[in-house]
Amino acid sequence: MVAKVPASHLLLISIAALSALQEDIPWELTCKHLPDVLQYIQTSDDDSELDDACRSLDYILKRFVRQQLSIPKAVMDKVPYLIKHLMHPSQYVRNTSNDVLNTIASGSDEESQVLLDSNILDVLTKLLDDSDRCGQACILISKFTAGNAKQIACVMENGIMTKLINIVTNLYGDLETWRDASWAVANALDGRRSPEQFRSLVLCGAIEPLCKMLAIHSHRFASEGDEGHLKIKTTRRLLRCLDQATIHLSSLQGPDFAHVPNIISMVEEIFTRESYHSYQRESKNGSR
């Protein structure tokens, strides 16, 4: 058994509190105490300690990200423990470990790949079936669908994309979860996916539910903006996704894609709505 480090739990509380206040600890001090925080991630069996350790680690990693520094290998070595903590009995530990993993997944492709290689998708697949944690899982998955084609393939091959498309097609009551799932789908549709992956997404019905939801909420976007259900940021993300899709949809040929003209019509109808007239379409000005 690895011995507990002598660092006081007070250290973790202090870093976590400063994180909540968005206060900066001197960089040298932050780096000095990173090994102590990591030991708590690995060895603590106290819920409060573990929660504070995760919050402290997230605070420290965000500073690495802001300075465009690679996340230290010592942190990446603790990824299996952080993934394990996603299923911790304590809700606080589950949430804070999820925050750390989100921060790591927001980094480089190499850092995201460590999460995938550590089988994080096995856990996230289960969380997609938990109504209380589905949205949380969708946010993390969206970081992988924003990755490279290999990482998008991991999501698609695990059957997760099918679950995400099912959410954006059939989830009507919980719009926050719908927004989270829609980002994951949109990232796959117009990100670094391969042409084959785009064709598969179209065949799986990824585009139509995005069109339908934008149509339903267009009037609220016009009158309420960020007070509307879809929010400005999500609405603009989905509009960009659909606009980019029109660049590639017309190239899909064959009997499997006989419905593509209908999809193109759905997309074009969205952009005829007065609420979305101000959106500058890249597909119409030659920008990619």
221 or 144: whose pLDDT is higher? 144
- Our CA angle for 147, 243, 254, nearest 5°, is 85
By C-alpha distance, which of 119, 123, 81 is closest to 100?
A: 81
The predicted-structure confidence for 104-130, as pLDDT tens digits, reads as follows 999 999 999 999 999 999 999 999 999
Model confidence band, residue 222 (pLDDT cutoffs 50, 70, 90) = low
Upper half-sphere CA count for residue 217 (Cβ side, 13 Å): 25
- Rg of the chain, C-alpha, whole Å: 21
Handedness of CA 171, 172, 176, 178 (dihedral sign): positive
Q: What is the pLDDT of residue 284?
A: 78
**φ and ψ of 22, to 5 deg:** 60, 40
pTM over 0.85: yes
Say which amino acid occupies 192: R
CB 128 within 8 A of CB 134: yes
Helix (H) or strand (E) holding 110: helix 109-117
The predicted-structure confidence for 28-80, as pLDDT tens digits, reads as follows 767 777 888 898 899 988 898 899 889 889 988 988 888 888 999 999 999 99
CB atoms within 10 A of CB 134: 22
Q: Which residues, including other chains, have CB under 8 Å from residue 234's CB and lie 6 or more apart?
A: 179, 182, 183
Only one residue has tokens 């017309």, namely 250
End-to-end CA distance of the chain: 54
* pLDDT (mean) for 215-222: 78
Helix locations, 204-259, DSSP H: 208-216, 218-224, 232-249
CB 270 within 8 A of CB 233: no
